[in-house]
Amino acid sequence: MKATLPAIVMTCQRYMPIAGHMIDRYAAHWPDHPFRFRLPDGRAARDLARTHGGRLELVPTDEGEGRGRFRAAVFGLLSGIPDDAWVYWCIDDKYVAWLDRPIARAVVDLVGSITDPRVAGLSFARARHLDPPPGGDRERFSCGGVSFDRRRDYRQIWLHQLLRARVLRTLFGGFPDRLDSAKQMDALHRAASLPDDQRLYVLDRNAVVFGESTTRGRLTANCAASMRRGRGVPPGFEVDGTTLVIGRRPSRLTTLMHRFRALRLASGLPIHAGRG
């Protein structure tokens, strides 16, 4: 695959080594991924770009002072991207620990065939409250035998996922211009209403496991272990003893069924939304 899909990386210069680790993990688990990672320009970002070749695009942004002005930074990373264009949203604080590559590739390929502008988000991470409650009237769409369930709010918006650019502009446009810390955005996104014309969906089975990179400003134990297997733990970061992993790897049988569905999904059958 060519690097044709913008990947929006919310990060800062201090955390650029963590963003680099996230990008390395995509290269390891998905060598032919289609992402071109957009990062805020700066000295640390330029150092990172020298080791990652053409997979990175450095974009001038306004990070403000300290950890403030997240909205301006995200708007800068989205510059030049039309509202209805698809991007891959991937903050630095998550990295791939396992990926069902065929289904992930099929879902990414799918966005080019979606004609309904209301479909504004697709996630292949079904974890952390993204399971709809049992029973009830689920709204979903299907393509080639693969089903997606509709999400009703912004919960788990920090997980890596495919979004139309306007979803991020709408969400961050409702945030204050300055925030004291990134943690404040957790309460803000939970209180925000998801517009009806920006419908987010999640795959009917989990296809990715993420590791969390940090906790309270320190590297998680799992992230530090992953870094040691690669470029090493960067200087200036303390390691916490906490292990944080998001999602469960499905059974081998479920994985084989998922890959069979991915083949059908790749057949190019039209997508439609409905209730099921």
Give domain limits for the chain.
Answer: 5-275
Residues whose CB is less than 8 angstroms from the CB of residue 129 and which lie 6 or more positions away in sequence, other chains included = 155, 156
pLDDT tens, 13-56?
999 999 999 999 999 999 999 999 999 999 999 999 998 877 99
The pTM is what? 0.88
Confidence at residue 109, expressed as pLDDT on a 0 to 100 scale: 86
Residues whose CB is less than 8 angstroms from the CB of residue 164 and which lie 6 or more positions away in sequence, other chains included = 83, 84, 85, 86, 87, 120, 121, 198
CA distances in angstroms from 258 to 7, 26, 103, 207, 270, listed in the order given: 25, 20, 7, 8, 19
Q: Which of residues 124 and 191 earns the better pLDDT score?
A: 124
- According to CATH, the topology of domain 5-275 is Spore Coat Polysaccharide Biosynthesis Protein SpsA; Chain A (3.90.550)
pLDDT tens, 219-229?
999 999 999 99
Alpha-carbon radius of gyration of the chain: 18
Burial class (CB in 10 A: 0-12, 13-18, 19+), 17: buried
- Residue 4: CB atoms within 10 A of its CB come to 10
Q: Where are the alpha helices (DSSP H) in the chain?
A: 16-29, 43-52, 70-77, 101-110, 165-173, 184-191, 221-228, 252-265
